[in-house]
Structure 1
Amino acid sequence: MMQTPRAESWVKVRPGGLWIEPGDFFIDPTRPASRAVITHGHADHARPNNGHVLATPATIAIMQARYGDQAGATLQSLPYGQDLTINDVKLRFVPAGHVLGSAQVVLDWRGSRVVVSGDYKRSFDPTCDAFEPVEADVFITEATFGLPIFRHPDPQDEIAKLLHSVSLYPERSHVVGAYSLGKCQRVIALLRRAGWDQPIWLHGALQPLCELYERLGIPLGDLRPATTAKKNDMAGQMVLAPPSEISERWSRRLPDPVTCVASGWMQVRQRAKQRGVELPLVISDHADWDELCRTLHEVVRGEVWVTHGREDALLRMAELEGMKARALRLVGFEDDEA
């Protein structure tokens, strides 16, 4: 009778990232690889110039929009829930709830199951499929907000704060710093859900991916370019821009803007103060401490490995709960606009 292999015998850390040895492919490689499985479209996970790329259809579309011909030498899309066998390794994608197209990678080989989470969250997001827990012998998780101090509020309550501020200052524009992929579209969709039916004005850097989201079936409503609007048109209006632009020359054309940033890091008051943010919005696309702990309790039937982030507290929690735990300490993954 064949013995079930231990995960560390076939899932390994290499200079290029997480390597699945019997399948001969990397997951989210940090340098160009001949075969890459990509969890989602953020640039620290989906890098250009790989050989064969496998991802969900939405992630493939995002990579093509961002990288053009450099998205990969060959591109293969695999919808959620469909199995694909690569050199005897069975692979399928299940939703991660991070951004549109984001996926966990479920790997089965000779009776051993490893699930690679990619980046994920458990809170409500109308722009992407919700996280689906899958039990695993080894669950490989991120830990961007892996400290007990990080407990994110309901994102809809943060949107209510934003709308309340608009009602208090109808003569001012509100410029919201939001990352171009995922966060921007989520903020827009949450605003629409909360009843904001007026135009939303966009910095030019945000327009292409918003247009792509709409082509992929995510309605965002009336979006207009802020660069062509008159200053008075944006009084009492909502303007979205990359976080790096909200305090730059570009924002000076807005009528007395209230500066906001949507990020999990806005829970850290010093970060908000250093960036001159008047209205911090704690809206994160990553799991907070409670979501990380809940997920481990739901899916881990053996070990948890932590790829990146704040590993130590999560590892300690896992060990206290009787799970084996280790830190992979992968490099090259960013969390600045989480």
Structure 2
Amino acid sequence: MDSTEYGLQRWNDLASRILDGEACSREEATAVLEADDVEIPALLAAAFQIRHHYFGRKVQLYFLQNAKSGLCPEDCGYCSQSKISEAAIPKYVMSDEATLMAGAQRAYESKAKTYCIVASGRGPTQRELQHVASTVRKIKEAYPLHICACLGLLEPEDARVLKDAGVDRINHNLNTSETYHEEIVTTHTYADRVATLKAARDVGLELCSGGIIGMGEQNSDVVDMALSLREFQVESIPVNFLHPIDGTPLAGKRDLSPLDCLRALCMFRFTNPQTELRIAGGRELHLKSLQSQALYAANSLFVSDYLTTTGQPPQEDVSMIEDLGFEIVLAGGEIAVESCETAATAD
């Protein structure tokens, strides 16, 4: 049996056991990240068995609105908005209601199911919190969008305010393993992040939490993060690939190949089989021409731009999804039937 046949049998067997209810072990997850390049097609085929079982051929789109940019007191080494960053980015206080409402309209027109309101900073002030809550109520009246808020560290009462306003989900990424966390930020702890996830869960909010790959961590750190997310039973995992922005401490760091990214996505699918898995920041930069292949493991992606970096036009994402024969799930649960030409005119 050659290596290709061995890989096909090996990963098919793992997928079958996971579909039978067996949890992917730490050793198996590590083996996925260490798989030989020639095994990638077999890995993707096995990951797709699991993806198809739980999500069919559906793809969910997310639209991100950077509601407050820069001006952050945290020292996250990967972030262009941190206090130690010298990146040339826009800096502005919390966006007004009209701007956030306009973002919701763009999200809806871009076929996004979820609208993500993201603000830089350690955590929201009470004024910012009430502003977001008030605007979310109006968005919910105007559009059938799922709302995800990413506002930094939250106290339990903050989470309650957002829940009562109609926010569906909180995003707060673990970013990496507990062991590696101090290597990327020192102004808050891994425990602080866990506390925010707990506060959100305690009031009934869905959890969106993932991380960034390519910051200098080891494979063991990526596996630790995936297993922690499984333990927290998060509803959604965004997998970001480091975009090394000039002016940040990690500028110029390019450790990932497109195949590394595919291996990581397969590992997250094996370890979190029923969880929505999203291809997030850095996908255009690192996956390059293999972006479409990532959707055999993942079942959601961001459309349009990210926080301080640009993405490819939404119509290109729609075309990529249609070319795969996949379906876009719209806000409200409907399946998109318009062509990519129609989607393009919405922008």
TM-score (norm 1): 0.29
More strand by share: 1
Higher relative contact order (CA 8 A, sep 6+): 2
Output the TM-score relative to the length of structure 2. 0.29
Bigger helix fraction: 2
Instruction: Tell which structure's C-alpha radius of gyration is larger.
Output: 1
